[in-house]
Structure 1
């Protein structure tokens, strides 16, 4: 019987915790996933005798909204998955306010149950606290993601798979040009002779080159993630996402089809600020 993924990852250190001792976690969530998250929260809520409305309102606060109605309205208007930053400290604080149950009592049985309900609901494993990435690699990732935030890069993607003939071998050997993109706010007008995808990839790869961060370094990090996963798990690609961090797409396990190994603290705020500043700049085509 295959062991759960979290049992197959060696713990080598803890990531920095804040917000009353909890890790902030950034990922995307859709309207349909909200139903699963709510169902997961209700599972724990029944054990604690907490009202459904209190749980959903606490969850809305934990992802930056004053009310559940405001969160659902925002998701409906966007008509697409929304990137949110989950703050478990805010969840417990709001739930305590609404239910009258002290924080300590809410956390007694399983202190991280809201985080589990959230990550399982959106289908993402949070492996940051048990990451096998080396200290040097984490320093390089800090530098890479800071550059991505400020220069407008959306993502870099390294594609590949573990070869069947060599299950112990590394599963990435090269980076394919074009597996990258800029964020919309940073895309200048596209010349008629260029297709959109080539133009945005070229700009993203230029930003990588200018930062003195090589394709080879991306592959080194992609290969390093190899050791965090069981040989039984089919791995697809490694994504360096400006807002969601370093994650791996893989076969579904325990309801999750991807796993996050690294996120830079404050990254989402930096991305939003950079995009806002870029949009505020006068257009080069302005009369």
Structure 2
């Protein structure tokens, strides 16, 4: 993959009080690249994408999205802290699918998928609905537009959440352990949708996952975080089959891979 990274983390740090969750890491994501982030609980994986979604603010370092500084903006030639308008503009390039769907229970599936494009992007209701139908078709749920979330299975709700994020046409999609709240028999349908998306588009993807086989299959690159550090990164075959650090070897033994 050539060109400039779509996302750059430069010496990014994050602390919660005295607890240093991320101790300074560098990571570039290229346009169209699919990167899985793996690691034990508490290694800062989710914090990484929460900072990218502006849900958490870094304690130090820089995050660059499509050439623009996320948390700072230039005013009269000086970098100052970003205001909400700047954050909103950059965040418009990023879509996120959470563990727990976060659908609005009082809205139909159609309205769940059209509310943000109308309110945030300024699309007409008709245009937003056309996009929503297109994306719901992609995830196999075009027949559920008039249903409410309580009428869907967990796997269907997660697929709606993916469609809702896609309607915004982001350049980067973030997936945060999207199968962890699902019953085991529903995991496959959601992973298949993500796999299909990965094969179809030029959209960059960052996936926090504990599904190692899925990470192996879908990723261009895998990044292993532990103890607040980016310990190892590389192509999935190399990382999973020839781990260099003892920390990664120990982690992978839990998945009977090494």
Q: TM-score, normalised by structure 1?
A: 0.26
Greater relative CO (CA pairs within 8 A, separation 6+): 2
Q: TM-score, normalised by structure 2?
A: 0.28
Would you tell me which structure has more helix in proportion to its own residues?
1
